[in-house]
Amino acid sequence: MKTIGISPHRRSFLRKAVTAAPAVALVAAAGVGVAASSNTQPAYRPAYFNAAEWATLQALVDRLIPANSDGPGALEAGVHEFIDLQMNTPYAYGKLWFMQAPFVPESPPEFGYQFHMAPRDLYRSALAGLEHAVQAKLGKAFTALDAAQKDAVIGELEQGTLAIGAVPPKTFFGQLLQNTREGYFSDPVHGGNKDMAAWKMINFPGARADYMDWVEQYGKHYPLPPASIA
Amino acid sequence: MADITLKKVEVVIVGFGWTGAIMAKELTEAGMEVLALERGAFQDTYPDGAYPKTLDELTYIQRSKLFQDLSKGSFTFRHDIGGTAVPYRQIGAFKPGTGVGGAGLHWSGQHWRVLPEELKLRTHYNERYGKKFIPEGMTTQDFGVTFEELEPHFDFVEKVFGTSGVAYRVDGKVVGEGNFFEPNRSDHYALPPQKVPYTAHLFHKAAAEVGLHPFVAPSSNASQPYVNPYGCQMGPCNFCGFCSGFACYNYSKASPQVNIMPALRKAANFELRPHCNVLRINLDSSKKKATGVTYVNKDGKTVEQPADLVIASTFAYNNAHLFLVSGIGKPYDPVKNEGVVGRNIAYQTMSTVQMFFDPNKNTNPFIGSGGNGVAVDDYNGDHFDHGPLGFVGGSPAWCNPAGVKPIAGIPVPDGTPAWGAGWKRAVKDNYTNTVSFDVHGANMVYRDCYVDLDPTYTDQFGQKLLRFTFDWHDNDIKMSRYVTDKMLAVAKAMNPKSIHVSVKNFGDHLDLRNYQTTHWAGGTAMGTDPKISVLNRYLQSWDVYNVFAVGSSVFPIGIGYNPTGLAAALTYWSAKAIREQYLKDPRPLVAV
């Protein structure tokens, strides 16, 4: 029979979470931001994407969630690093999906994903295809475009009007946008959402996971900073 | 032909979710030797829901940790009888489970009974509106069991699940501020209602202002420490917000693991065998009696397991698949309108209303519990006059703060772009300043909505996938649009800055991309007429008397509420018939 109560795991986690909050406040007060301290770490080296893909991917996610005073941009949040790390999980190999042929990609959109590529192959094909399409159309690399031009290209992917080779442009756009949001808002344990800055922007407390005393505090700002499972 | 043939057991249970666990408990209590076979892994609150690892939206929701592994087998879908079906390749509109506990481990805990008129829908409409009201092609029919017969089982299920809620009428006396429309109860809920989070409080106030009858919804999330009739303990829910899609780390959400397994572990006459994927129920040469089941074990060996009694308790539609591949009952043919297995498949017709407020509303939507909230039943079932409306069915509606997490979708106002600075500003401004409610409608059954075996796609064992032929019909869209329109008065009474309504338009097709609900029903309908039902009123196969099926597959129609409470009560109803009538003299319990 199980014993109900706070498990040792939860007790030690809470102790960690409680002591973490003042530590962050102290560092910030001393003028050494968490973001600044992370600059001293060696630059992330992608494990899956090659140099050209990596540059294009960064330029894309930077426009999907741009940096501004509202909160972190995708690059600050490490969305590109998250996507690279995901490429070595079963998900990226298509192991979570039903991938038996025949594929009927021209099925109506209501039937969901009907394309034969798993995320690894999809990114490889689409990033090269995008570079090729942009060179042909504008005579420049995607990374060399200005912000408005990049946004116009992304808008064409979203609308499905820019052919990028084997991958249907809307399929690539959907995959990229989903993974970008995941990298922005998932627990930092997965490599994105650095310093939980995206959670702080919206006031999501992450893994605090106990609001017994807040359920009936109607309309009050929740005061505690987020906690990660990391 | 099997690699291994095992010794006979008295009862074999196929699938160990809620209904399999209930049957195991009931039949071991009756002294039977019971073996449960579960296709997935063994899983439990610890370590599969261990704190803090379980509080991980990406792993559990977007990467489907507790959902069915589609790479091993899925379903196919088409919208009409002439179409070619394609597979459900990624988890989208519905989230079936796998492994011990089934979907009962990751469900949210919304806990309902059923409306008495839904148990006899065709009779009820014929009597109140005349025999011409139900349109041609709508194949609604009665369950063959009454609310009064099921009431003791509803009551016991709520005690086993530790359901929190407030009654309206007990033993004929009005006792509390529960659901004004609810029929008489024999007892109160197991626990008092949960606390009401802010968004549901706003909904409660607005619904009362416009003249509806709001009440705190029943939930199988414990409002207090609790010990159920089996001696299993629950801890009070702390509104962590990681409920639907997760295993409750706090032992607060009812699950087979928390509410039944601790008692079953003590039963010497019970065995649970995970990683055993049942391929078929075996029949003798007469095809009127089952001899047991054949399954594939963890090592890929084919095992023949003889048994006296077989209980099919797989998830919803999967019972129809098991009957089809085993040759139990006549497969449904929609063209000839003959046969029964796979007939009357129903989903639910959902719509959602979101209200956006100015900054500093602080609705704090991360605070949540899967089943809690405030509901109205004014437009459910036949609680309103359908005569002039020209549709069958209705919708309960509720504000169910279950914990909004950021990846799965922060509501944003109409006109918000999907990306860029505009999207970012919108999620920042709206995450803690939104209220949302759902209109959770019934979906009727139709001659052209059914399941059969797909001719093309197969699972990991080479068995044909189940094929859904399903699309929306005007009746249900009309119903959903009517109720959603009525419920807009509640939204407006909250005085939001803007309102976003997602409701189906006439001509919309079933869309499998975004989550709607996992509540499929039908395929092995219960009933009183073997021409239109697979099971008799005790959930016994008309064709093979030592096979019973339990779960929402036995519903002959779609209902407005979430199905778990009804599926569980019907399982106890069937178990009672097995214990009191079948075991002393195994035979068909209803003469054809």
Q: What is the ipTM of this complex?
A: 0.96
pLDDT at position B592, please? 86
Task: Give the Cα-Cα-Cα angle B441, B442, B444 (nearest 5 degrees).
Answer: 140
DSSP B390-426: -------EEE------TTT-----TT--SSHHHHHHH
The model's pLDDT over A111-154, given as tens digits with 9 standing for 90+, comes to 999 999 999 999 999 999 999 999 999 999 999 999 999 999 99
pLDDT at position B409, please? 77
Task: Give the Cα-Cα-Cα angle A217, A223, A229 (nearest 5 degrees).
Answer: 110
Restricting to B residues 190-249, those with a Cβ less than 8 Å away from any Cβ of A are 195-198, 201, 225, 231-236, 238-242, 249
The C-alpha atoms of residue B291 and residue B304 are separated, in whole angstroms, by: 10
Q: Among B551, B547, B553, which Cα is nearest to B578's?
A: B547
Alpha carbon B29 to its chain's center: 26
Mutation test of the interface with chain B: which of A6, A10, A111, A150, choosing the one with the most B Cβ atoms within 10 A?
A111
Closest residue on chain A to B515 (Cα):
A112
* Mean pLDDT, chain A, integer: 88
The one catalytic residue in B153, B204, B440, B519 is: B519
Alpha carbon B314 to its chain's center: 12
Q: Do B73 and A151 touch (CB under 8 A)?
A: no
Bridging pattern class, strands B277-283 and B75-78: unpaired
Residue A8 has pLDDT above 70, yes or no: no
Q: Domain map of chain B by residue range?
A: 4-582
pLDDT at position A9, please? 54
Half-sphere exposure of B118 (CA within 13 A, CB side): 26
Per-10-residue mean pLDDT of chain B, 592 residues long, equals 95 98 98 98 94 97 97 98 97 96 97 98 98 97 98 98 98 97 97 98 98 98 98 98 96 98 98 98 98 98 98 98 98 97 97 97 98 98 97 98 94 97 98 97 97 98 98 98 98 98 98 96 98 98 98 98 98 98 98 90
> Which chain B residues touch A158 with a CB distance below 8 Å?
418-419
Confidence of residue A16 (pLDDT cuts 50, 70, 90): low
The C-alpha atoms of residue B326 and residue B120 are separated, in whole angstroms, by: 30
Q: Do B88 and A112 touch (CB under 8 A)?
A: yes
CATH number of B4-582: 3.50.50.60
The C-alpha atoms of residue B120 and residue B568 are separated, in whole angstroms, by: 19
> Which chain A residues touch B87 with a CB distance below 8 Å?
98, 100, 114
The C-alpha atoms of residue A124 and residue B533 are separated, in whole angstroms, by: 52
Q: Do B92 and A112 touch (CB under 8 A)?
A: yes
Q: Do B424 and A65 touch (CB under 8 A)?
A: yes
The C-alpha atoms of residue B448 and residue B538 are separated, in whole angstroms, by: 27
pLDDT at position A28, please? 37
B109: left (phi over 0), alpha (psi -120 to 50) or beta: left
The identity of residue B194, as a single letter, is Q
> Which chain A residues touch B362 with a CB distance below 8 Å?
219-222
Q: State yes or no: is B519 an active-site residue.
A: yes
Q: Burial letters for A104-143: b for 16+ Cβ neighbours within 10 Å, e otherwise?
A: eeebeeebbbbbbbbbbbbbbbbbbbbbebbeeeeeeebe
Sign of the four-CA dihedral B81, B83, B87, B88 = negative
Scan for tokens 């060696």, then name that residue: A42
B556, B534 in Cβ contact below 8 A?
A: no
pLDDT at position A13, please? 52
Asked if A159 is an interface residue toward chain B (Cβ–Cβ < 8 A), one would say no
pLDDT at position B44, please? 95
Closest residue on chain A to B242 (Cα):
A209
In this structure, what token pair is assigned to residue A184? 């922005």
Q: Domain map of chain A by residue range?
A: 44-202
Closest residue on chain A to B235 (Cα):
A4
B497, B205 in Cβ contact below 8 A?
A: no
Residue A5 has pLDDT above 90, yes or no: no
> What integer is the mean pLDDT of A92-102?
98
Q: Among A141, A101, A204, which Cα is nearest to B363's?
A: A204
Closest residue on chain B to A212 (Cα):
B238
- Dihedral in degrees, nearest 10, Cα atoms B385, B438, B346, B522: -100
Mutation test of the interface with chain A: which of B205, B407, B509, choosing the one with the most A Cβ atoms within 10 A?
B407
Asked if B57 is an interface residue toward chain A (Cβ–Cβ < 8 A), one would say yes
Asked if A72 is an interface residue toward chain B (Cβ–Cβ < 8 A), one would say no
Closest residue on chain B to A191 (Cα):
B58
Closest residue on chain B to A229 (Cα):
B52
Q: Among B451, B445, B398, which Cα is nearest to B561's?
A: B398
Q: Do A198 and B406 touch (CB under 8 A)?
A: yes
B356, B497 in Cβ contact below 8 A?
A: yes
Which of A63, A201, A229 lies nearest to residue B52, judging by beta carbons? Answer: A229
Phi, psi dihedrals of residue B256, rounded to the nearest 5°? -55, -35
> Which chain A residues touch B238 with a CB distance below 8 Å?
209-212
Residue A14 has pLDDT above 60, yes or no: no
From the number of C-beta atoms within 10 Å of its C-beta (0-12, 13-18, 19+), residue A24 rates as middle
Residue A63 has pLDDT above 90, yes or no: yes
As a 3-state breakdown, chain B gives helix, strand, coil percent values, each rounded to 5, of 25, 20, 55
Q: Among B155, B181, B154, B185, which Cα is nearest to B167's?
A: B185
Mutation test of the interface with chain B: which of A218, A220, A224, choosing the one with the most B Cβ atoms within 10 A?
A218
Which of B87, B258, B364 lies nearest to residue A98, judging by beta carbons? Answer: B87
In this structure, what token pair is assigned to residue B228? 């159920």
Restricting to A residues 169-228, those with a Cβ less than 8 Å away from any Cβ of B are 177-178, 180-182, 185-187, 189-190, 198-199, 201-212, 214-216, 218-222, 227
pLDDT at position A25, please? 39
Alpha carbon A70 to its chain's center: 17
